[in-house]
Amino acid sequence: MKKVLITGITGFVGKHLTSHLLSQNTYEIVGTYRSATIPTTFGDIQDRITLKQLDCTNAQAVEEIILSEKPDIIYHLAAQASPAKSFGSPVETLTNNIIAEYAILEALKKHKLTQTRVLIVSTGEIYGIVSPSDIPVDEETPLRPASPYAVSKISQDYLSLQYFLAYKLSIIRVRPFNHIGPGQRTGFVVADFAKQIAEIEKGKREPVITVGNLSAKRDFTDVRDMVKAYELAVEKGIPGDVYNIGSGKSHKIADLLETLLSFSKEKISVTEDPNLFRPIDVPEILCDGSKFHKLTGWETKTPFEKTLQDILDYWRAIV
């Protein structure tokens, strides 16, 4: 069995990736978490994984784990992942995301672990303010980052490219576009909407949803499809290369909200909150994932409406 190290395993994507990899019965999984308490959120699969507390910005601790585990594959997911939060915490976002990756790559370089396959997860957010002529967005589209988060992800993307070029590490870079699904925390648009609807249904708030910019259009992929893409990227990706991953379809936020509201019997009104608008926002972004599809055959399988229904049902169960 191949040994896999997942940084940030307790995060939204980390949990889904863990479940997917375990279903293959070909991986031994070690995951890192940052909190002071031992996670208990993996349910019946908890006894099938090894969890280790780690601050990924602590280079010595990162080196010790990599040397003790000697993973065949590293999925580096640990990061400050919210574009909205990055406007309020730009320094934290930049330092955390860049230094954590540096610690991993430097440990691999130092000990000449060039055969360890490393997935570095950037984001479609790095393309930022794209012009209409650039849509759909491929890997050659100019980078015009619109948030500190996007800047941090460009740094991660290019830092890993530098380590591939200079030290021949087996690094595959991916640029996933928006991914959503059950388990995503608040601070992200679909989770925020779904939580509010669930609270309204249970009488925990007035029947009013507060929203930000509803005119933006985004390319959404179900996280359960996205983690399958990550596994394929590690298996078939060419070290040093980069791949956009997305559904190839864009959805207006207003239409997304309308679909979620249609799943509820409550009569809910919508009101704008100026505080939910970003200082700068991207009108539309749409992924051209043809390069990755040609290499792997991957495409989205989960209907968009099912993803939205599953997210709403997740919040109904926990609020």
Domains of the chain listed by start with CATH number: 2-180+221-249+287-301 (3.40.50.720), 189-216+250-282+305-318 (3.90.25.10)
CB 209 within 8 A of CB 270: yes
**Of the candidates 272, 164, 259, 157, which has an alpha carbon nearest to the alpha carbon of residue 213?**
272
Q: How far apart are the first and last CA of the chain?
A: 39
Q: What contacts 210, CB < 8 A, 6 or more positions away?
A: 196, 271, 272, 273, 276
The predicted pLDDT at position 280 comes to 67
**Of the candidates 157, 169, 100, 115, which has an alpha carbon nearest to the alpha carbon of residue 3?**
115
**Of the candidates 174, 292, 243, 229, which has an alpha carbon nearest to the alpha carbon of residue 17?**
229
The predicted pLDDT at position 21 comes to 97
The DSSP bridge pattern shows strands 73-76 and 49-53 to be unpaired
Place of tokens 């006894």: 47
The predicted pLDDT at position 36 comes to 73
Cα–Cα distance, 310 to 297 (Å, whole number): 26
CB 51 within 8 A of CB 18: no
10-residue mean pLDDT series, the chain (319 residues): 96 96 96 84 86 96 97 96 90 96 98 98 95 94 95 98 98 98 94 97 95 92 98 98 97 97 96 79 90 98 98 97
Compute the half-sphere exposure of residue 134: CA atoms within 13 Å on the CB side of its CA: 17
**Of the candidates 154, 101, 161, which has an alpha carbon nearest to the alpha carbon of residue 125?**
154
Going by the DSSP 8-state scheme, the letter that residue 113 receives in this structure is -
The predicted pLDDT at position 226 comes to 98
The predicted pLDDT at position 45 comes to 84
Q: What contacts 194, CB < 8 A, 6 or more positions away?
A: 260, 308, 311, 312, 314, 315
